[in-house]
Amino acid sequence: MSIKYKILKAIDVAGLNFLRPVILLCYGEEPEEQIRKIGLFIAVPIMAFCLFLYLWGLFAPMHKTKSGEVPTPSVVWDSAKGVWAFHVREKNKANAYNLEGDSRDKLLEQAQTRLSELEPMVARVNEQLAEADGAMQSSLASKIEPIKAELDSSKNAMREAQKARQADLQARAKAIAADDTAAKEKLLEDYRAHLAQIETERESLRSYEEQIDEIHNADFPQRAEAIRAQSAIAEERQYLVKLIDTLENNRQQKLSDIETRLEGFESSYYEASGADLLKHAKSITRTESLMVNAADSEYAKPMTLPDQVLRSVACVFAGFLVASLIAIPVGIVCGLSPIMMSALTPFIALFKPVSPIVWLPIFFIIVGGFIPDPDKHWLIAGLAELPLIGWMKINPAFIASALTVAMCSLWPTLVNTALGVASIDKDHINVARVLRLGFWSRLIKIVIPSSLPLTFAGLRISLGVGWMVLIAAELLSSSEGLGKFVWDMFNNGSSQTFAQMFVVVFVVGIIGLLLDRIMIVFQRLVSFDESPTSI
Amino acid sequence: MEKPIIQLENVSVGFGPESDRTEVLTDVNLRVMENEFVSIIGFSGSGKSTLIGLLSGLVKPDTGAVFCKGREATEPGPDRGVMFQNYSLLPWLTVYGNIELASKQVFPNLSKAELKEHVEHYIEMVNLTPAIEKKPHELSGGMRQRVSLARTLSIKPDIMLLDEPLSALDALTRANLQDEIIRIWEEDKKTVILITNDVDEAVLMADRIIPLSPGPNATLTESYNVGLDRPRDRTTLNHNPEFIELRNAITQSLMAMNAEAKKLRSNTELVMPDIRPLDLSAA
Ligand SMILES: Nc1ncnc2c1ncn2[C@@H]1O[C@H](COP(=O)(O)OP(=O)(O)OP(=O)(O)O)[C@@H](O)[C@H]1O
Ligand SMILES: [Mg+2]
């Protein structure tokens, strides 16, 4: 088997068939055909995506919201980088809390050097910002000045005119005799005209003001750039200060502080006598318990988006696992026994369409019933001790979300498995009958393998459904994860968090895509007839 | 009299609901003795595979009974090894896996190494060692047929029910496997019922040839005993007058049956008007 064949087989199994023409081109096979295919399967999608980004960048700023403009691709990209930087920094801080000895000193030194490097930069960006401010002010002034002058002059002119008309009306009013109805009517009419005139004059003044407002509100790129630079540096500076603070007060430091204190207390205890002894003993025991606390202490690291992503993925897999453990056996039983199938059909039909939004609160309450006091429950405590997932702090909200995922995603697997088992080829059953396979051998060697492709097709759909359901479930249950991230960002309501919601769109999409790819690979591995899987 | 190892007694079978029933086999009687090699020959669609189904126990007779080794047989079992016409290989298993599944079930006491040797022996017999790790969908039709044959042979059934086992093979492979089947039959004292539509093959291999009349309502007709000495040599057989005579006789009888069946059909279809031409000469 040649390497080429192996590569082609691998990308086929991985569902990456769009790479096929590239490989073939590398081997110089029908170059024209391959280039055509590359154009079709690689260039066209890329171009379409670029077009999408362009249109997005074009239209997004046109819509203004409470949280600022709809973010453009570049804003979203910057925001993604910000999310990542935040994650890295939090991780460093958490790490710094655990460092001891040399490595701690080294990091401390690094941080201090960087901080001292930053100081002049802070000054520079502040200067730049001031400069930009100045430039903006003067540019504004130069634009606004003439308009303002015009505004003032026309305001004055109008005021004069108004006064004159008012005086004229006043004079006429005085001159009108008590019985001169015609003159009175005329006066009333003129007064009305006067008021209307005032209104139109105001209107024209307002248009000047609007012009001025517009100039004020217009983007000033130089200043925006300066603000961005300043806030980036300010953030880094704040981070370094925090990092240094953490390093200086990390666990090891705290412990050695407490130790010296303890030593002091101990020596004074042994020197003292009489009534003081108990007082000193109290100090010692209190310090000892402080020491235990310090030894157990951890840096209070907030959940960052990557952590939440991992937790979401863990949650969807937990739910998916539960769903599979229920759906596959039940599906097999349904496929084998028409009676079971008939008995379960109403349940499937009834529960399948129920929305996750309904299941979640139900599961939340049910799980809460089992785990009334999460902090003291053995399950929660046990899960927190586990090596890989302990940090996720699995709580009832997590469990309820996972169960919601399970409840909503088990149907495709169940139905497909039942179908796969029920539609087994009669010839295969005949083979089993001739060989006199027992029930279990028949199940394991004939029925299950022949239904696996359909089961896996169902599992793939289930995982996709589960992932969609999960985000909603987390949002509702406030289980730390992508859903909660979106909800927090929504409640925050700033333009920066608005952009981060767009980041989540891509994160969710990419992870969903990867999950689907993984399932495709499994599906390909169990399929025996080389039938192509749909994309 | 010697007892038959497998026997059909007045067996009839049909498919379909009462309202739209096709009677495939009617009143079939068959007695096959131990260590006999019987070949059944018939037209396509006449019911040969159905007959194999009856013999194996996979198809239940509507009337009559199937006896195997003196007892009524109602369930299939590995003592009557069937080679299915459509091969019925398990598509998720490799060539090796397919044969291993059958062998392991029938010979549960074999050690791992023995089992491997056993399976490989039969794969080698049908010349498929190079394709041992391939799945059925990666094989040609003829290769699949050979896997199916190897699977049936590997469970060493007392009675081998072979449904057109060599139909998809080239002449050379076919001759080889014919020899192989005859060798196994002779050495291990098996009973073979071979379905074929090739008269030469039937005459070459069988002790007895039974033509199946064309369906519907097919039934086994008078059998022909093949008295040719064994081993039969394919190269000289073509000039053997006894062989030629037998072959012609069987072919003729099949043709006659076919023609009769056709006539019967056309008779039932065309109702002749009850009129005669006027005899003008009498006037
Ligand atoms: N399961 C079934 N349901 C309905 N009719 C069937 C079924 N199996 C076979 N038949 C009918 O029985 C008749 C005989 O079929 P069978 O497969 O035994 O023919 P055959 O002699 O083996 O033909 P061939 O030489 O083409 O294999 C056919 O007319 C077929 O339509
Ligand atoms: Mg047939």
Report pLDDT digits (tens) over B53-79.
999 999 999 999 999 998 888 899 999
Report pLDDT digits (tens) over A415-444.
999 999 999 999 999 999 999 999 999 999
The last residue of one of the domains, among B120, B138, B157, is B157
Residue of chain A minimizing CA distance to B134: A528
Same domain, B137 and B105: yes
What whole-number distance in Å separates Cα of residue B150 and Cα of residue B146?
Answer: 6
A168-173: long-range pairs with CB below 8 Å, 24+:
A169/A194
What whole-number distance in Å separates Cα of residue B107 and Cα of residue A340?
Answer: 35
Give the pLDDT of chain B (283 residues) as one tens digit per residue. Answer: 578 899 999 999 999 888 888 889 999 999 999 999 999 999 888 899 999 999 999 999 999 999 999 888 889 999 999 999 999 999 999 999 999 999 999 999 999 999 999 999 999 999 999 999 999 998 999 999 999 999 999 999 999 999 999 998 999 989 989 998 999 999 888 999 999 988 999 999 999 999 998 878 888 988 899 888 888 888 888 888 899 999 999 999 988 888 887 777 766 555 566 766 666 665 4
Q: Tell me whether residue B152 is exposed, middle or buried, using C-beta atoms within 10 angstroms of its C-beta: 0 to 12, 13 to 18, 19 or more.
A: buried
Whether B63 is in a domain gets the answer: no
Cβ atoms of B166 and B145 closer than 8 Å? yes
On average, the pLDDT of chain A sits at 89
Cβ atoms of B36 and B207 closer than 8 Å? yes
| A313 or A176: which leads in pLDDT | A313
Q: How far is the CA of B168 from the centre of ligand 2 (A)?
A: 13
Same domain, B175 and B258: yes
| Pairs across A and B, CB distance < 8 A | 57
CB distance B50 to ligand 1 below 6 Å: yes
Whether B276 is in a domain gets the answer: no
The share of chain A scoring above pLDDT 90, in percent, equals: 41
The last residue of one of the domains, among B137, B157, B177, is B157
What whole-number distance in Å separates Cα of residue B185 and Cα of residue B208?
Answer: 14
Q: How far is the CA of B51 from the centre of ligand 1 (A)?
A: 9
Q: How far is the CA of B47 from the centre of ligand 1 (A)?
A: 5
Q: Could you tell me if the ipTM is greater than 0.85?
A: yes
Q: How many helices (H) and strands (E) does chain A have?
A: 20, 2
Residue nearest to atom 5 of ligand 1 (CA): B15
Min Cα distance A529 → chain B (Å) is 6
Site to probe by mutation for ligand 1, drawn from B15, B18, B201 as the one with most ligand atoms within 8 Å of Cβ, is B15
Q: How far is the CA of A125 from the centre of ligand 1 (A)?
A: 90
Mutation for B interface: A434, A528, A529, most B CBs within 10 A: A434
Same domain, B142 and B185: no
Choose the closest CB to B105 out of A435, A450, A529.
Answer: A435
Cβ atoms of B242 and B77 closer than 8 Å? no
Q: How far is the CA of A421 from the centre of ligand 1 (A)?
A: 26
Q: Give the domain extent around B260.
A: 31-47+168-266
Domain count, chain B: 2
- The CATH number of residue B218's host domain is 3.40.50
**Bridge pairing between strands A64-65 and B80-83:** unpaired
What whole-number distance in Å separates Cα of residue A145 and Cα of residue A151?
Answer: 10
| DSSP labels, A215-250 | HHHS--HHHHHHHHHHHHHHHHHHHHHHHHHHHHTS
What is the crossing angle of helices A221-248 and A73-98, to 10°? 10
Whether B144 is in a domain gets the answer: yes
Across the range A448-465, mean pLDDT stands at 94
CB distance B46 to ligand 1 below 6 Å: yes
On chain B, the residues whose CB falls within 8 A of the CB of A428 are: 88, 90
Whether B81 is in a domain gets the answer: no
Choose the closest CB to B86 out of A427, A435, A436.
Answer: A427
Q: Which residue has the tokens 């192509």?
A: A532
What whole-number distance in Å separates Cα of residue A151 and Cα of residue B69?
Answer: 119
Contact B86 A450 (CB under 8 A): no
Same domain, B110 and B196: no
Residues with Cβ within 8 Å of B77's Cβ and at least 6 positions away in sequence, in order, are A434, A436, B57
Same domain, B177 and B262: yes
Same domain, B174 and B248: yes
Site to probe by mutation for ligand 1, drawn from B19, B24, B59 as the one with most ligand atoms within 8 Å of Cβ, is B24
Ordered alpha helix ranges (H), B126-240 = 141-154, 171-187, 199-205, 234-237
- Which tokens in the block code for residue B254? 């099949």
- Which tokens in the block code for residue B244? 């030629």
Please give the single-letter amino acid code of residue B155. Answer: I
Same domain, B95 and B235: no
Q: In the prediction, which pLDDT does B281 show?
A: 62
pTM of the predicted model as reported, rounded to 2 decimal places: 0.81
Report pLDDT digits (tens) over A69-80.
889 999 999 999
The last residue of one of the domains, among B157, B182, B213, is B157
On chain A, the residues whose CB falls within 8 A of the CB of B80 are: 434
Q: How far is the CA of B208 from the centre of ligand 2 (A)?
A: 20
Same domain, B41 and B172: yes
Same domain, B186 and B152: no
On chain B, the residues whose CB falls within 8 A of the CB of A452 are: 92
Nearest one of A306, A289, A254 to A104, comparing CA atoms: A254
Q: Tell me whether residue A474 is exposed, middle or buried, using C-beta atoms within 10 angstroms of its C-beta: 0 to 12, 13 to 18, 19 or more.
A: buried
Choose the closest CB to B78 out of A427, A435, A529.
Answer: A435
Residue nearest to atom 10 of ligand 1 (CA): B15
On chain A, the residues whose CB falls within 8 A of the CB of B84 are: 427, 430-431
Same domain, B43 and B179: yes
DSSP conformation class of A480: T
* B80 beta partners: B159
Q: Output the CA torsion sign for A350, A351, A353, A354.
A: positive
Residues of chain A numbered 408-427 and touching chain B (CB < 8 Å): 427
Give the position, in ligand 1's atom list, of the atom nearest the Cα of B85: 27
Q: In the prediction, which pLDDT does B29 show?
A: 92
Same domain, B188 and B249: yes
SS (H, E, C) A10-36: HHHHCCCHHHHHHHHHHCCCCHHHHHH
Same domain, B116 and B191: no
Whether B149 is in a domain gets the answer: yes
Q: CB B84: neighbour CB atoms within 10 A?
A: 24
CB distance B48 to ligand 1 below 6 Å: yes
Residues with Cβ within 8 Å of A188's Cβ and at least 6 positions away in sequence, in order, are none
Whether B75 is in a domain gets the answer: no
Cβ atoms of A56 and A73 closer than 8 Å? yes
CB distance B213 to ligand 1 below 6 Å: no
Q: In the prediction, which pLDDT does B107 show?
A: 94
Contact B58 A433 (CB under 8 A): yes
Residue of chain B minimizing CA distance to A452: B92
Nearest one of B7, B67, B57 to B32, comparing CA atoms: B7
Contact A428 B86 (CB under 8 A): no
Cβ atoms of A446 and A431 closer than 8 Å? yes
